[in-house]
Amino acid sequence: MSDLVCPVCGKSNPNTVEVCQYCGASLKRSSAASGTSDLPGWLKDIRKSTNAEPAATPDTTRPAQPIEPAGAKDVPFPDFLAGLSNLSDEEDDESPDWLNNLRGVLPDPPLIYAAPSMPRPAQPPAASTEKPPEQPAAPPAENKVFEQLPAAQPQAEPQTPNTDWLKAFDLPDSSGSVGSDIPDAEIDPAIYADLPDWMASLAGLGGQSTPAQPEPSVFEQSPAPANEPVDWLSSLGGDFTAEDNFATSESSAPVAGETPDWMARMSSSQAESGTVQNQPEPDWLASLSSSAVESGGMPGAKEDLQSSALLGSDDWSGLRGSTPGVFDASEGNNPNPGVSALDETPDWITNLQGSDPVSYEPDTKGGSSPAVSPFGELPDWMTNLRDPAATLEKPDWLANLNSSTPDQTSSANIPQAAETPVTPLENDNSAWLANLGGSALDYKAPVSGQTLESGQPAPFADQPDWLSSLQNSQDASFGDNPKQNQPESHETSFRDEVPDWLTSLQGISTPVDSVPAQAQPEPQSISDWKSAPSVPDEALKPNEPQTQNQPFEPEDLEGFSIPGGTGELPDWLARVSQATAVENKPVQGQVPAATAPKTPRQQANESGQSMIGTGQPVRSEVPGLASESGNDQNIDSIFSMETPDWLSNFLPAASQPVSAPSEKDSTPNDLPAAELPSWVQALRPMESVVEETSDNDEPQNVENEGPLAGLRSVLPTQPGLTVAKAPRAYANELLINETQHAQSALLENLINSEKNPQLLPKRPKVSRIQPVRWTIAAVLLLVVFIFAGLGSNVFPSPATPGETSAVGMFLNTVGNLPDNAPVLVIMDYQPGFAGEMESALGPVLENLMNKKARLAFVSTSPVGGLMADRLLSKFSTSYSYQIGQQYVKLGYLPGGAGGIKVFADQPATTLGQDTRSGNLWDTPVLKDVTINSVTSLANFAAVIVATDNPDIGRLWIEQAQPVLGAKPMLMVVSAQAEPMIQPYFQSGQISGLVTGMEGGLLYESALGKSGQARTYWDAYSAALLVAELIIIIGGFWSLRAGLRARRAGQEQDEV
């Protein structure tokens, strides 16, 4: 048996090895029939769909749908992912890490895709034992990968679901079935579980019945009905109409563990043609497909692209290019949501169609001249793969694809794609995609007569020119394969004609240490390419983290070789290498990072997993995706929106060879660390970060013995580092220093000093204020003594009070009292105010005595009774008022407001029960107060409150006045309480108010009598005058002193 050619590095390896000796890629072949036995199921499906589905008219008016692989079967798509057939069964069953991460599942060991229609992304070096990736080999060797792809295709289909997504790129074979070489039975339903949508959609293009897929949690994937055109490109978009059967944009988010929409669409598209799975297609793929369709490119290419859903709609929504009518999800007439994207052809696809729709020429060197990407902005991994020079012209394989699919434009299912002119691959980012439409892809264009559901786009009916050119170039590069120009042989021709760029990419993606040990023979056709040993797992492994961000180096392309090709770099790929030579300088042995401006999504997912196959970054492994600075913008515009980081940093060159994903966490020191997307990094526990940081620890930190053997960063316990000794004994005493002791003593003294009263400083016996006080006192005493002793009547009495005045109303009220009426008099003034109060209350009592009123005295002050006696004694000579006869003293009422209240409510039970006098309420004085055995204050004719305290007066007003009802409450207050009682008088709560000596004098004047008030009036008035003079003089004196002080202060300030 001939040696195996590594699909990744393109180097030959002996048959006995399963892993490439150079890049570590798996050398397992696919199924014998299709050469894709080791391919993931999705990839198989893609291939089957491309072989089964007939060509269909592209329907650009319909929303993007997965491209029917059958429609593209006339266009030989190079099976650049034929190397994925090297994936083992076990590996095929495992979803790639990047895919799992997209679905939110722990990444599985990286798998190697044997995608028939997509170049296998470059894989990081598999193991430390593997050699570092070699520099790209000579151009002839570049095609080795692609040469291998066709050979890999006929092999057994890979059971891995990860490779089915690329089946969308399979060209339809003569039978019109896309991917017919991929037996349906070999498609494992589980393969769709872990695929991104776009991959799933690609898988659906295999023309096989869509296997039952696991129920996705995120991706609302539903297998597309049979014969439903699959638009894998549309599946790449995120927004699809409700009519679309593809998964919605929500479901388009790649979640690890579930089949992405694009892959589902691929499967559904494959089922239609097949089995085509409706998947939301990213924009770029939708545009890609539309451009392909419009340009009359590879039939079914559009469907394939759409259904492939390379990256899922979220990531690839930015890939929706400016090309209209390709991935227009707003279109409602497309039942397939994925097809809606057909209306919006991404820029890179339009660019693929470009200004020179027929500029796709087969690149004898294995690479086709890249054209402008119709998608506008490609992910970084695509941009990195571009060659500036390659963007100027279509790649050969893409040109071949376009030329070989003339009847795809008649597809009615993809009218938008048909309308969209296919632009040449001017954009490097789309070079590889353009090649997808060409002969390099094992794309199964829909053949004529292939039944499609109404409204379903014919697979690859409107494949972009690039896709056609890809096929053509593949055909050309594969050595004039007669099948290249035949739609029926598109598949095989495509597979046999893996574009050089693809193979070269595969070769670039395989670093030196990842070169598969077993080099595969160069396939002579696309089928050979398909049947070629699949890219070893090592080759398809994700890049190391430190390699993923490195730009793609043109030198990386040197090792690419397309199986069956000339082994030379495609022109477009060569241009990529030239363009990126200036931009990036790859680190030896490391995958150059993407040079294209990254979209936020790209940057966020910069270190994310590859959505192709293994979950590792794809950017460095997908041949033909070399970035080209000249057309970065166009391609970038496609992928500007939501290109994941891993895709943005996808580097085809210098990618590590795919290695067995045996170790996820620990990476060899010489391997670049995997670059995880930002969102994954955010999820990573700190331990993982610590572990990563500990990767650089010296080897001696690894514990070799003891219970901690094998652990790293263990604290060293060398003798001498730790001294075992008894713990230090601490004293129970409070250790304080001198300062603290002094402060505590001070605090204690302060506390103790609080108990000792401070002695006030002795004031001088004679102060400056004393003479003034003496003077004032002397003057006052003299004036008062003179006027009081003389008994003069110099100061006239005030005028008679008016009736509306407070005194006048008091007079009227008392005057209106009936004779011999019980009147309650409350004596609540202090003995100190006796002089004033007696002057004010005296005439009132005299007036009441004149009316023979029966007086009841009560007081809330203990000395009230004494005051009553004192006052009454003044009138004893004039009025024979006897206690118990004309007046009674009810006594002292304690309790303040409560006592007043209870006395007001029940006076008889509160006071008046004298132990000596008995019940005072039964005396003749108060017998009228008790009416019907009810004693109430309201039974008194009037209540007169005499107080010097405004608060006491307020209490009586608040507590007793409401009980009186209509009975008047009169008040005789001191001059100091008058301002606070005046509001109650104005509110009507008291009927009359007599204030101080003046009020008494007014009352006396009204009565026409002369009492104490009149006696005191002259002295009082004189004292008031003296006080007024003192206040006036004092005011002037103070002002003068203040002015003096101010002047002195000003003079002092001036000085």
Q: Which is nearer to another protein, 743 or 775 (CB)?
A: 775
Question: C-beta of 964: minimal distance to another protein in Å?
Answer: 12
Question: C-beta of 992: minimal distance to another protein in Å?
Answer: 15
Looking at the chain, how many residues does it have? Answer: 1055
Question: C-beta of 1048: minimal distance to another protein in Å?
Answer: 14
Tell me how far apart the alpha carbons of residues 207 and 446 are, in angstroms, rounded to a whole number. Answer: 10
Question: C-beta of 64: minimal distance to another protein in Å?
Answer: 58
Tell me how far apart the alpha carbons of residues 13 and 15 are, in angstroms, rounded to a whole number. Answer: 6
- Chain centroid to CA 522: 52
Contacts of 752 (CB under 8 A, 6+ apart): none
Question: C-beta of 914: minimal distance to another protein in Å?
Answer: 6
Question: C-beta of 799: minimal distance to another protein in Å?
Answer: 7
Q: Which is nearer to another protein, 3 or 836 (CB)?
A: 836
Q: Which is nearer to another protein, 348 or 829 (CB)?
A: 829
**What single letter denotes the amino acid at residue 638?**
I
Question: C-beta of 1039: minimal distance to another protein in Å?
Answer: 6
Question: C-beta of 867: minimal distance to another protein in Å?
Answer: 8
**What are the tokens at 63?**
């929303």
Task: From 517, 511, 523, 593, select the one nearest 560 (Cα to Cα).
Answer: 511
Query: What are the phi and psi torsion angles at 125 (to 5°)?
Result: -60, 140
Tell me how far apart the alpha carbons of residues 29 and 6 are, in angstroms, rounded to a whole number. Answer: 10
Question: C-beta of 895: minimal distance to another protein in Å?
Answer: 4
Q: Which is nearer to another protein, 32 or 1024 (CB)?
A: 1024
Query: What are the DSSP E strand ranges found in 170-301?
Result: 235-236, 275-276, 281-282
Q: Indicate the SS3 state at residue 883.
A: strand
Considering only the C-alpha atoms of the chain, give the largest distance between any 2 of them, rounded to a whole number of Å. 156
Q: Which is nearer to another protein, 576 or 957 (CB)?
A: 957
Question: C-beta of 1049: minimal distance to another protein in Å?
Answer: 13
Q: Which is nearer to another protein, 815 or 1036 (CB)?
A: 1036
> By the 8 A CB rule, do 942 and 970 touch?
yes
Question: C-beta of 997: minimal distance to another protein in Å?
Answer: 5
Q: Which is nearer to another protein, 13 or 839 (CB)?
A: 839
Tell me how far apart the alpha carbons of residues 519 and 10 are, in angstroms, rounded to a whole number. Answer: 6
Question: C-beta of 845: minimal distance to another protein in Å?
Answer: 17
Tell me how far apart the alpha carbons of residues 424 and 717 are, in angstroms, rounded to a whole number. Answer: 67
> By the 8 A CB rule, do 460 and 67 touch?
yes
Q: Integer distance in angstroms from the first to the last C-alpha of the chain?
A: 119
Question: C-beta of 814: minimal distance to another protein in Å?
Answer: 22
DSSP code for 672: P
Tell me how far apart the alpha carbons of residues 85 and 113 are, in angstroms, rounded to a whole number. Answer: 6
Cα 661 to Cα 161, 309, 692, 748: the distances in Å are 16, 24, 18, 75
Tell me the sheet residues that pair with 348: 374
Question: C-beta of 953: minimal distance to another protein in Å?
Answer: 11
Q: Which is nearer to another protein, 314 or 838 (CB)?
A: 838
CB atoms within 10 A of CB 688: 13
Q: Which is nearer to another protein, 695 or 1028 (CB)?
A: 1028
CB atoms within 10 A of CB 867: 23
Q: Which is nearer to another protein, 697 or 1028 (CB)?
A: 1028
Q: Which is nearer to another protein, 581 or 788 (CB)?
A: 788
Tell me the sheet residues that pair with 323: 345
> By the 8 A CB rule, do 422 and 133 touch?
no
Q: Which is nearer to another protein, 482 or 894 (CB)?
A: 894
Q: Which is nearer to another protein, 604 or 911 (CB)?
A: 911
Give DSSP secondary structure letters for 570-586. Answer: BHHHHHHHHHHHHH--P
Cα 690 to Cα 106, 397, 678: the distances in Å are 19, 47, 17
Cα 975 to Cα 85, 446, 947, 952: the distances in Å are 116, 117, 10, 14
Q: Which is nearer to another protein, 788 or 1007 (CB)?
A: 788
> By the 8 A CB rule, do 5 and 522 touch?
yes
Tell me how far apart the alpha carbons of residues 594 and 406 are, in angstroms, rounded to a whole number. Answer: 35
**What single letter denotes the amino acid at residue 411?**
S
Tell me how far apart the alpha carbons of residues 557 and 65 are, in angstroms, rounded to a whole number. Answer: 33
Question: C-beta of 811: minimal distance to another protein in Å?
Answer: 18
DSSP code for 967: S
Q: Which is nearer to another protein, 232 or 829 (CB)?
A: 829
